[in-house]
């Protein structure tokens, strides 16, 4: 049982209500990984404000999926299923604080260890705060 737990992949979920900077924070995670691992391949499946990307060859072997959409009726469920099918070792995504998106994320708890992080809202320095959270997510994932 313990060895099975060690092989379980990780999902880092940025959780917050509407308009709290979740997308901007996860886009910052993408930028951090692109800069930190220039030899990794980033395959953008969607490359607009809301992004869906898979990095391969992070530290040589890791596959990382990132979905910035986390609102109800978004592509979150399809993206998480895609990332699982692709064998992503680490997933970063967003979801709300309750409801359908939380259920979508929780449905992957048999394959991924879920790590929820609350998106904090600050009155000033919004972008700087999002970068701090992005760096803490990357660090928590051991990247």
| Residue-wise pLDDT tens digits, 72-111 | 899 999 999 999 999 999 999 999 999 999 999 999 999 9
pLDDT at 125: 65
**To 5 degrees, how large is the angle CA 34–CA 141–CA 107?**
110
CATH (domain of 103): 3.40.50
State the Cα–Cα distance between residues 8 and 51, nearest whole angstrom. Answer: 25
Its domain, for residue 111, covers 2-140
User: pLDDT tier at 20 (50, 70, 90 boundaries)?
Assistant: confident
Number of domains in the chain: 1
Q: Is 112 exposed, middle or buried (0-12, 13-18, 19+ CB in 10 A)?
A: buried
Report the pLDDT value the prediction gives residue 8, as an integer from 0 to 100.
76
């Amino acid at each position: 049982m313990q060895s099975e737990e060690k092989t379980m992949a990780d999902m880092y979920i940025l959780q917050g209500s509407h308009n709290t900077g979740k997308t901007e924070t996860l886009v910052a995670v993408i930028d951090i990984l692109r800069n930190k691992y220039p030899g990794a391949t980033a395959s953008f499946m969607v490359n607009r404000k809301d992004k869906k990307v898979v990095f391969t060859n992070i530290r040589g072997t890791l596959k990382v999926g990132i979905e910035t959409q986390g609102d109800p009726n978004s592509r979150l469920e399809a993206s998480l299923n895609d990332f699982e099918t692709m064998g992503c070792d680490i997933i970063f995504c967003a979801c709300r604080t309750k409801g359908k998106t939380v259920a979508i994320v929780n449905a992957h708890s048999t394959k991924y260890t879920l790590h929820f992080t609350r998106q904090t809202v600050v009155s000033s320095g919004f972008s700087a705060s999002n970068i701090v959270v992005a760096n803490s997510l990357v660090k928590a994932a051991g990247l």
